[in-house]
């Protein structure tokens, strides 16, 4: 009985240590994984899909579009991972304190960072992975191994957009190739003999099985990039929503966790304080703030 209690406890501790190491410390593991997956997809696309599509006389610009998106994505990835997200230091602390006002709900005046020993500016947060306080902190991204803050949010948005476009474009070209193969073979009008010896018309399931047996790697890659497109597309839409409403992921999570609402007319549960997003300035200005973060001089002019 003692062993049955001790072993699960040790496993839990080991699991927690591994998760803490990977998600709460800076590590290049996810960067390597990200590059490896991207290389595997593009290798399959180059050596099989591109060649087959070229033989079927697909337009060259269409086939080269994933490579153009890849070049843009690599550039955004480097900028996002290398750029200063908005590190708060003693030299810029006074100026960053003047950028945003405290809303009194998510961000309280006088809150000190126990690690950096400085008062936290509004919309900032201490990142445990990087060990720094970040201005307009959004989240720590393990895929770029850097925090996402005021000064590299635009690079992250472009990185995410190009990554989604890459997956979607490869999925579209690959699906078009497989559909082209089915149409050329006139497979949908064929018939086959099943295991019971009965003649049946070809259906979608039969076509998918046939394509998987004929092009196993291509079909597997197509399924992977379709799933990737759906996941990245949903995250991209969420990031766009945050940008248009002038929120960060950190603020969105904190407002939901506290049971807050962005609409002052809605009554919160259990009579909690209603939160109104005081940082939103309209769709256009909110989007502009992502690509051109406000400075002290701009704040004074307003």
Show Cβ contacts of residue 181 under 8 Å, excluding neighbours closer than 6 positions: 211
Please give the sequence-ordered ranges of beta strands (E in DSSP) within 156-284, or none if there are none: 191-193, 199-201
Vertex 285, ends 282 and 290: CA angle to 5°? 120
Q: Is 141 a catalytic residue?
A: yes
Helix (H, G, I), strand (E, B), or coil: what is residue 268? coil
CA distance 90 to 110: 16
Residue with tokens 């925090």: 147
CA distance 97 to 81: 25
Comparing CA positions, the residue from 279, 198, 204, 211 lying closest to residue 245 is 279
Catalytic residue among 141, 147, 258, 269: 141
Q: Are 175 and 222 in contact (CB under 8 A)?
A: yes
Show Cβ contacts of residue 166 under 8 Å, excluding neighbours closer than 6 positions: 66, 69, 70, 73
Q: Are 123 and 136 in contact (CB under 8 A)?
A: yes
In degrees rounded to 5, what are phi and psi of residue 102?
-80, 135
Q: Which residues are catalytic?
A: 141
């Amino acid at each position: 009985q003692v062993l049955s209690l001790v072993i699960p406890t040790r496993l839990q501790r080991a699991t927690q240590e591994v998760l803490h190491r990977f998600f709460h410390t800076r590590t290049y593991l996810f960067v390597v994984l990200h590059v490896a997956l991207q290389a595997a997809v593009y290798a399959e696309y180059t050596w099989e899909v591109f060649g087959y599509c070229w033989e079927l006389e697909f337009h060259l610009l269409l086939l080269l579009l994933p490579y153009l998106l890849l070049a843009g994505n690599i550039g955004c990835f480097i900028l996002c991972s290398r750029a200063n997200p908005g590190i708060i230091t003693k030299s810029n602390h006074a100026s960053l304190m003047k950028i945003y006002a405290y809303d009194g709900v998510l961000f309280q005046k006088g809150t000190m960072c126990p690690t950096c020993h400085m008062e936290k500016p509004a919309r900032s947060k201490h990142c445990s992975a990087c060990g720094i306080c970040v201005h307009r902190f959004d989240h720590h991204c393990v895929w770029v191994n850097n925090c996402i803050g005021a000064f590299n949010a635009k690079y992250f948005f472009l990185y995410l957009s190009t990554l989604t476009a890459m997956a979607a474009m490869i999925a579209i070209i690959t699906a078009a190739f497989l559909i082209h193969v089915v149409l050329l073979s006139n497979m949908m009008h064929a018939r086959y003999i099943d295991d019971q010896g009965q003649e049946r018309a070809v259906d979608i399931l039969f076509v998918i099985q046939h394509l998987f047996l004929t092009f196993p790697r291509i079909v597997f890659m197509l399924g992977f990039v379709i799933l990737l497109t759906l996941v990245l597309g949903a995250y991209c839409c969420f990031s766009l929503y945050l940008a248009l409403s002038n929120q960060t992921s950190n603020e969105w999570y904190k407002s939901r966790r506290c049971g807050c609402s962005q609409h002052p007319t809605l009554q919160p549960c259990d009579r909690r304080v209603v939160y109104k997003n005081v940082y939103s300035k309209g769709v256009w200005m909110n989007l502009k703030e992502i690509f051109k973060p406000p400075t002290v001089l701009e704040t004074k002019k307003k």
